[in-house]
Structures are given as C-alpha cells and as structure tokens.
Amino acid sequence: MLLEPTINKMQALKLDGMVEALEEQRRTTDKAAWSFEDRLAMLVERQWIWRENRTMKTRLKFAKLRQTACVEDINYRHHRGLQRSVIDHLAASDWVQCAQNCIITGPTGLGKSYLACALAQKACRDGHRTMYFYAPKLFRALLAGQADGSLPALLKKLARTRLLVIDDWGLEKASPTQYRDFLEILDDRHGLASTLITSQFATDRWHELIGDATVADAILDRLVHGAHRINLDGESMRKPQNQAAQKT
C-alpha cells in the first residue's frame, strides 16, 4: 500500500498530529509487536495532544497577557499576605466556570499583575477564552470607539470573552462617559462571564475615583459583591531585587 496518498489526505484533513505519530511508528523497529488497536490509539492520542496544544497557543495569543506567568511559579516566600490555599482554589478555574469575579488589590510592587496573568494563563489552559487589558489602554480604546463608531464591536468582543483581565484599574482618571461605558461592559458580563481586576486602590476608595455616586454604586454592585478578594500588603518585591542588582 502506498502511504504517501494517505498522508496527503491526513494533512488535508489537518490531522498533523497523526501524521507525526505515523512517521514515528514507521521508524520504530518493534512496531510489529503492537496490535492494530494500540497503533490506532497512539495516532488518536497524538492528534488529540496536537490539537490541544494548537488551541492553547491560539488562546494565549488572543489573551495578549502582559507577562509570561503561571500559577506553579508564584512566589509564596515573600511576606505580602498571599495564601497558597486561596491561589490553589482559584487555580482550579471553577470561579471562571461559574462566572464569578476576582479582585486583587495592594500597593505597587507586590506582584498583582503577575498573579492576574498567572490565573489568566491557567484559565487559558483550562479552555477559557481570555483577554487582558491594561486599564488606561482599555479606557483609551473605549474613547476611540466612541469617536470612530467601533465601540459596539468592541463591547461585543468583550462580552464574548470568558475571562476579562483589567490590570491597574484606577491608575489614570477616566471621564464620566468612559466610566459609563465600563459599566456597560460589566452589565453585559454580569452573571455570564468573569472579570479579574487589579488595583492599587482598595474598593472603598472607588467611589472617590469614579466621582459619580450612581455609576460607582452600579459598578461596585456588579463587580465587587461576592467576588473573590486578594488583598496584598507588605514591602515591594522589587526592592530586594534592586538591592541585589546594586551589590552586583
């Protein structure tokens, strides 16, 4: 039997994982000892792994995470009030499956962005469509969408994202219109998808940041109540690194 036409058809069907496994089987000297079912199972398993890896790469590319981070590499030695049990619970991604929110607050330099990206990367690994935004860039995108008419498309894209990460919320002051657009994002996602926010400001200061009490109440109602909370405190993690660099 000529194998080349079969391989061409497998490639046309995008069964690249099977093609790779088949080539490996052909180079193996003891393949005669395997049953047909064993060889078929190996081909199917390789195709499954290949597809999962490709899908994972696609999700990570779409997410555009700020940092390369994973929950397995989180630093628990630095004293910042971070509990391993809390991260282990969130790393299961059940909160994303249940459309719950997460808020990480604390001073600068305590690794809020890394934690957010690590949890987002785990959500990608668990099959959830994820998108990362640096908060000032998100508000600029909302402003640009108002100007050029692309806002409805952006809001639709955000609404379809299973996990939306908004990093450094409150770092820059936004206009009342931008806060109302932000409220619309939360309203579209409320009870349907998860939002993870990091901020240097505790949630009891968000009324002061937003300015409009009515909009602030609505944002807090949709985002904060019932959310998983991680409140970090302590000395900046960058300080020991800077001291070590100076000594070097």
Q: 3-class DSSP state for residue 248?
A: coil
3-state helix, strand, coil in the chain (%, to 5): 60, 10, 30
Specify the higher pLDDT residue, 20 or 71.
Answer: 71
Q: Residue 180: is it exposed, middle or buried by C-beta count within 10 angstroms (0-12/13-18/19+)?
A: middle
The pLDDT tens digits for 63-93 are 999 889 999 999 998 888 899 999 999 999 9
Is 80 exceeded by the pLDDT of residue 22?
A: no
The pLDDT tens digits for 219-240 are 999 998 889 999 998 888 876 5
Rounded Cα gap, residues 20 and 111, in angstroms: 40
The enclosing H or E element of 100 equals none
Indicate the pTM of the whole model: 0.78
Domains of the chain plus CATH, in order, are 4-62 (no CATH), 64-234 (3.40.50.300)
The pLDDT tens digits for 119-141 are 999 999 999 999 999 999 999 99
Is 60 exceeded by the pLDDT of residue 246?
A: no
The pLDDT tens digits for 26-56 are 777 676 677 777 777 877 887 777 777 777 7
Q: Contact at 8 Å (CB) between 138 and 168?
A: no
